[in-house]
């Protein structure tokens, strides 16, 4: 059975590492594997990631709750969510 996924366009002040840290610190390794969260590629100055639909709220909350990183302020923001990469990367 095909599991529904969503693609996310993520803006991050600390690049790929910050997104990974934000998500894994909030939902943990178990959550990352359960929701199959992965960062796919960089698109312009943002990152394209993918996760299962059932974990979408957790991933959004994880990025929203990341406001500090090692004492400095950090910004991780989901710009767009879509079911296909094509729709995500088109204007």
Partner 1 sequence: MKFYDLNISKPLLAEKERQLGFEKVVSLPVIEGDEKKVVGECKKKNFALVNPFRVKKFYENKLLTKSVLEGNKCFEIPVSFFLRLEGTERARFMNRVRLFLKFCLRKKACFVFTSRAMDESELKTPREWIAIGVTLGLDYRQAEYAFSGRVEKLGVVF
Q: Which residues bind partner 1 (CB under 8 A)?
A: 25, 56-58, 60-61, 63-65, 67-68, 73-75, 77-78
- Cβ proximity to partner 1: between 78 and 88 the closer is 78
- Cβ proximity to partner 1: between 72 and 91 the closer is 72
- Listed residue (46, 54, 4) closest to 27, CA to CA: 54
- Cβ proximity to partner 1: between 1 and 30 the closer is 30
Instruction: Compute the CA torsion angle 60, 61, 63, 64 (nearest 10 deg).
Output: 110
Q: How far is the CB of 81 from partner 1 (least distance, A)?
A: 8
* Contact residues for 13 (Cβ-Cβ < 8 A; gap 6+): 74, 75, 76
Q: How far is the CB of 68 from partner 1 (least distance, A)?
A: 7
Residues in the chain: 91
């Amino acid at each position: 059975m095909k599991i529904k996924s969503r693609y996310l366009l993520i803006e991050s002040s600390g690049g790929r590492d910050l997104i990974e840290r934000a998500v894994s610190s909030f939902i943990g390794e178990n959550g990352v594997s359960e929701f199959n969260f992965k960062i796919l590629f960089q698109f312009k100055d943002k990152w394209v990631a993918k996760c299962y639909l059932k974990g979408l709220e957790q991933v959004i909350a994880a990025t929203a709750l990341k406001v500090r990183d090692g004492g400095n302020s950090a910004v991780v923001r989901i710009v767009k969510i879509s079911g296909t990469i094509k729709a995500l990367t088109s204007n």
